[in-house]
Amino acid sequence: MNNIKAVILAGGVGTRLWPMSRSELPKQFLNLSGSSSMLQETVERLQGLDIAESIVICNEDHRFLVAEQLRQIGKLNQNIILEPAGRNTAPAIALAAMTALRSADKDELLLVLAADHVITNVHAFTAAIKTATVLANEGKLVTFGVIPDKPETGYGYIRRGSSSLIGPVNSAFEVAQFVEKPDFDTAQKYVSSGEYYWNSGMFLFSARRYLEELKKFRPDIMTACEEAMYVVDTDLDFIRVNEEAFLSCPEESIDYAVMEHTSDAVVIPMDAGWSDVGSWSSLWDISEKDQKGNVVRGDVINHNTIDSYIHTEAGLVATIGITDLIIVQTKDALLVADRHSVQDVKKIVEQIKSAGRYEHNTHREVYRPWGKYDSIDAGEHYQVKHITVKPGEALSLQLHHHRAEHWVVVSGTAKVTIAEEMTIIGENESVFIPAGVKHCLENPGKIPLEIIEVRTGSYLEEDDIIRFADRYGRI
């Protein structure tokens, strides 16, 4: 029997959960349904299975987020594959399959999962995976079909074919057809027939079998991925493939590239409380509610409020006499929407982009590999930030042409290098860095370093930076 490796796809953007989910901090890295991020919950729900290790696939921009979240749960082990650009799921899984075969003495099973799905019944999830393992070891390419409990127009569907008795398993079916997202009437017919399942986007198959079928049906994708993997660079906890070769790879999903063509596709029904959390209304659906059907996160006071989702991270939100609303407040944006119209959130994101604003891309609070910063205030020729540096971490050795900086230590200890001079400053002490001077900030202590930074100058944006040395490889 082959070992199982989890392949977790973490490259999505999740614009329909704006303003919480944004390009630089998409939903898979947020705590939306529990105390951990969705990525962390995806890894942790594998504890009941015999999983050798997890491989996470993400893009360059999110690499330090992934590394830090895996480190927090003890699952970081040079197991992050970086995609130079998104090319959909078929190429991403091919990179993972080739990586698995390189590091193993024999073929391995790949359990392919999305990093941004919720599963409330972990026992049923685990049972379905164990059932699928038998078939995957026989060379089948298994997908998991979620048993629908209502007509849903936001999901693709899988129609099952001839029944059961595929090998020793009684609860698996041949795949008859993959179908696109239907209209409501068609979705009703699918659900009533009992022959259709929601397409979960989860798979289990051997690495070698997947690559065999990919080479058979999409040799162009296979060739591009082989060339991308010909020379692999291991950098910190990241596996970097050849950028030029991978950029030449066609974009395609695993469904279109392989699963719709192979004669070995099998679907296993799953009833595990699955959701892709594709909108605020779906998050309301799966969340625990109060007696009036409300889901509340943060500092909220409700009066005569029914069937609503209210989330705040930036101060008190009070509601009076509302029904079926979504209210989400971040430090720099507020969304108010009818709970039945949240699919149009992406249209708001498009307007933000076209207006040249930043709120679709970054939060006011921004995470970096060394910690984070929060832009507290800004005006003409000045900007104020609250900077947190984790113990033992450091910003790069850098300079800025157009701005000077004044650092005030609020708590912790700062090791500051300005030009060639190094000094240690503590709470209530400050230091001034003139424009055009090399400088570095480090936390040598055991507790987080908190500082207030005041920038002054003619140009204050983040791209006014020249790095000379950086422990995170960002030069």
The pLDDT of residue 437 is above 90: yes
pLDDT of residue 165: 46
Q: Give pLDDT tens digits for 79-132.
A: 999 999 999 999 999 999 999 998 777 899 999 999 999 999 999 999 999 999
Contact in structure between 456 and 378 (CB atoms under 8 Å): no
Separation of alpha carbons 151 and 170, rounded Å: 26
Which pLDDT does position 34 carry in this prediction?
74
Q: Phi first, then psi: what are they for 145, rounded to 5°?
A: -100, 125
Would you say domain 365-469 falls under CATH 3.30.1360.70? no
The reported pLDDT for the residue numbered 106 is 83
Q: Flag the least confident range among 48-57, 135-144, 306-315.
A: 48-57
- The tokens describing 205, both together, are 């198959």
pLDDT in tens, 390-410: 999 999 999 999 999 999 999
Average pLDDT (307-312) is 97
- Mean of the pLDDT values across residues 323-342? 97
The span from the CA of 111 to the CA of 129, in Å, is 8
Count other Cβ atoms within 10 Å, centred on residue 225: 28
Mean pLDDT of the chain: 93
- 365-393 pLDDT, tens digit per residue, is 999 999 999 999 999 999 999 999 999 99
Give the per-residue pLDDT at 237.
87
- The fold adopted by the segment(s) 4-275 is Spore Coat Polysaccharide Biosynthesis Protein SpsA; Chain A (3.90.550)
- Which pLDDT tens digit goes with each residue over 171-207? 899 999 999 999 999 999 999 999 999 999 999 999 9
End-to-end CA distance of the chain: 45
Nearest to 286 by CA among 475, 34, 465: 34
- Tell me the percentage of the chain whose pLDDT exceeds 70: 98
Report the alpha-carbon distance of residue 146 to residue 119 in Å, rounded.
11
| pTM of the predicted protein model | 0.91
Most confident of 76-80, 227-231, 339-343, 412-416: 412-416
Q: Which residues of 63-89 are buried (b: 16+ CB within 10 A; e: fewer)?
A: bbbbbbbbeeeebbeebbbbbbeebbb
Would you state the pLDDT for residue 166? 53
CATH topology identical between 4-275 and 365-469: no
Cα 407 versus chain centre, distance: 33
When pLDDT is averaged across residues 230-250 and rounded to a whole number, the result is 91
The answer on pLDDT for 33 being more than 80 is no
Alpha-carbon dihedral 430, 434, 440, 444, rounded to 10 degrees: -10
d(CA 43, CA 73): 9
Alpha-carbon distance of 175 to 277, in angstroms, equals 25
Whole-angstrom Cα distance, residue 106 to residue 119?
Answer: 31
Nearest Cα residue to 438 out of 462, 416, 409, 463: 416
**Token couple for 82:** 């970086």
Instruction: Give the pLDDT score at 48.
Output: 85
CA dihedral 387, 389, 393, 396 (to 10 degrees): 0
The pLDDT of residue 143 is above 50: yes
The predicted model gives 342-348 an average pLDDT of: 94
Contact 49, 82 (CB under 8 A): no
pLDDT-derived band at 164, boundaries 50, 70, 90: low
* C-alpha–C-alpha distance, residues 310 and 298, integer Å: 8
Cβ neighbors of 189 (< 8 A, separation 6 or more) are none
Q: Which residue ranges make up each domain of the chain?
A: 4-275, 280-353, 365-469
Q: Which residues, 6 or more positions from 207, have their beta carbon under 8 angstroms from its beta carbon? A: 5, 96, 97, 98, 100, 101, 107, 108, 109, 110
